[in-house]
A and B are shown apart, each in its own frame.
Chain A
């Protein structure tokens, strides 16, 4: 399949005219027609004719496009505003919302000539880790359709695993891009806070939200991030730091790189299969010349409580604009999980409780920042699992809010600090379910993480494995 090829190769073929964008797009739509009904990864599919027309236009002008993403098909989590294309955040409240403007990320990709083929399923407003908490039906895991595709961005991840597109744009507030990557056997970069503009992305928790790429490999993610990163005059929290040439720096050697392995991540909560896979990954890094050292990050256990005060507080504020006056949908359309988080946040911000909850959580956040800063001044990356559990069966997380929260155990602290984290496939369980790991780096060290990830993917083939669904008819 063409879509199995890395972006760099597809781009070369497009330029040498050995392949056309129409070929690639047609293949994607064939694949979608064959398998989407089994997965439910899309909320809105761009119609084939529109996408093909765009592809034709790119084919005709391919020589004039500087970006390697020209003519490459992609999907976006339905949290991104796409001018003229319905955007719902997976909530019926926005069921008929056609945005009058585009998110900066979308605008940049359109300018690069990439071709949007769909808006993808997610937990409504980003609330969840299983894409079950959606008004458009759960997304099924391509590796086992009895199981969740992870969340909140289950849609884009399942679509990439099922070879519906080349790459996706996710959004990560507490693990929403990494958790589905791990459960679908794909790669994803949760970027440093401020690295990519948030303008036009429907806010879940503004101080934690980050916009990043997800694709089959670390290298593909690097191509996408190179295009979407950078300061934005429409986002006061976007960083003016120059964007490094990630794809040029990705070949950097891992020799002598220092990787920390915090013991707190390997406690009782962790599934033994996942633990075993991470230990194997450790050996791969060591064989590449990296030095892996066990360390301690004692604050870890406070990550989930801090996250579940900050994120609901901010979301209770961000969602207050969906008050039933505009957009069509009434407030009663918020899901149970939405209401739970709105109420938790409203309570935490109420006068008399603010100091005990929100303010205290912010103090602990400062502690996290200093603890991670200290550790990352001595190490290039922290290696850890992405989720403590294997892909869950439908209903497991939905019925157990506590378990749902604990699924975020390893991912949320990264958002609390604002660090980048690369999620990579690192093995399979006995029942052929994928396992993911993450490499967390210092602020704005995406380039280092990409290089480590690329080294790993040169030495392993987990990321090349496909669910049987892909080749079935």
Chain B
């Protein structure tokens, strides 16, 4: 039987704002001593109240605009209730039925992936399992509690692991180019949750089940989890059953997904509007202001470097892949050293792609100097040049005669003869001198 995967993605991205989603604590929590960046608000102490972070709201809207979403003119926060020791209030402040942004899309080589919604919420604390005084204990670090978290939800438009990976890479790129998150997978600042089901090819209705794989921290694992699930579902369907609706996790050691929670255990989050935060209202002018302040997106910058610097598609794709690479290219190609040496964009691109090892360290000045040096052409001594020209002309009578009859190929032949003797010579200088010498013959 032939099956078609039906995949949707939920992606959480931690914003790199200075302060928390609802308090003044630093949002940068990675590698900090546990529970040093906390306050009554993010600890959920009695009486503490949330104050929404304007920058986080603005950046979420900006991401929505970059994805082509419609920004809601009225939005609100809601409480999502569940019990877990890393959730100090017993609820997470999230958005339920009026997210900041709805709709939008990202194009992939296998088709359009529509965005369902983009909303803003707060991150939770983190549990640490440890031994204290010889006892196994679980400790809570609240440094991450209250860090702004954007959730991007797609429609179930993805039909392969490769397409999922391509989508995720593009989204990652957009987030990085907007400068709103490091989206560092290893630090957990971008987390992936595919929803996977499969149906017979030709069917159009959504399958009667869905499996969610939680908290994957690399594009590769996301692709592997999707492949694994597709095979697993096919086997179950072939046996005449329907896969269970459940939440699974990716087990790196086993290279397999493992069941975590079934539908029956699914929580009722008892969403209701967060009474501590008045609804958010945005004017058109405010949203337009954000649009105006948006940096160029990866696709726009790609088009720009192809058009302005004559790069080919492949070079542009490689440069766009990493914004540091692209920035280095743009600054180098426009540097005085490169411009005055008349070096082409393609040459600069090739050099940066092939010769620069560390984009984080390389400076524009150094790279430009290296490229100019590599392309350096010797300006040869005029008398030496005249000697070579005289020798070449006198020993190639036929070619000289052909040139005089108007045969351009002969000029190129003579040029080659000269270059063989002065390989580093400036082509233009030689050509001009050769023409002058032939004309006075």
Contact = CB atoms under 8 A, between A and B. Distances in A.
Interface stretch (B44-52, B114-122, B201-209, B407-415): B44-52
For B45, B46, B91, B270, the residue with the greatest tally of chain A CB atoms inside 10 Å of its CB is B46
Interface residues of B, number: 28
A137 interface: no
Chain A contact residues, majority secondary structure = loop
B278 interface: yes
Contact of B46 (A87, A325, A351, A354): A87
A99 B51 contact: no
Given A81-B46, A233-B51, A321-B88, A101 B40 contact: yes
Nearest to B89: A321
B85 interface: yes
Contacts of B31: none
Contact of B275 (A81, A97, A314): A314
A89 interface: yes
Interface in A294-309: none
B301 interface: no
A314 B88 CA distance: 17
Interface in B228-281: 268-272, 275-278
B49 A236 contact: yes
B30 interface: no
B83 interface: yes
Contact of A94 (B46, B85, B88, B140): B46
Given A237-B276, A320-B81, A323-B83, A89 B270 contact: no
A16 B311 CA distance: 86
Contacts of A205: 275
B276 A234 contact: no
A89 B45 CA distance: 13
Nearest to A89: B46
Contacts, number: 90
A235 B46 contact: no
B423 interface: no
Interface string A68-108: 00000000000011000001010000100101110100000
A406 interface: no
B79 interface: yes
Given A206-B276, A350-B268, A320 B48 contact: no
Given A317-B91, A323-B83, A206 B52 contact: no
A214 B253 CA distance: 64
B90 interface: yes
B270 A351 contact: yes
A151 B300 CA distance: 65
Contact of B50 (A87, A233, A236, A326): A236
Interface in B34-85: 40, 44-52, 79, 81, 83, 85
Interface in A321-377: 321, 323, 325-326, 346, 349-351, 354, 358
A101 B48 CA distance: 10
A381 interface: no
A320 B49 contact: no
B203 to A, nearest CB: 29
A236 B46 contact: no
A236 B51 contact: yes
B46 A206 contact: no
A314 B272 CA distance: 9
A102 to B, nearest CB: 9
Contacts of B276: 206, 236-237
Contacts of A206: 275-276
A320 B269 CA distance: 12
A234 B88 CA distance: 19
Interface stretch (A45-53, A193-201, A271-279): A193-201
A199 B48 contact: yes
A202 B45 CA distance: 9
Nearest to B272: A349
A256 B20 CA distance: 52
Contacts of A323: 83, 90
A445 interface: no
A313 interface: yes
A326 B88 contact: yes
Contacts of A87: 46
Interface in B3-48: 40, 44-48
Given A87-B46, A101-B40, A200-B47, A320 B83 contact: yes
B278 A313 contact: no
A100 B363 CA distance: 49
A86 to B, nearest CB: 12
A234 B48 CA distance: 8
A346 B85 CA distance: 20
A236 B90 contact: no
A101 B45 contact: yes
Contacts of A319: 90
B122 to A, nearest CB: 14
Contacts of B271: 349, 354
Contact of B90 (A103, A203, A320, A350): A320
B132 to A, nearest CB: 16
Nearest to A206: B275
Interface of A: 80-81, 87, 89, 94, 97, 99-101, 103, 198-203, 205-207, 233-237, 313-314, 316-317, 319-321, 323, 325-326, 346, 349-351, 354, 358
Interface of B: 40, 44-52, 79, 81, 83, 85, 88-91, 140, 268-272, 275-278
9 contacts: A200-B47, A202-B46, A206-B275, A236-B50, A236-B277, A317-B90, A321-B44, A349-B272, A351-B268
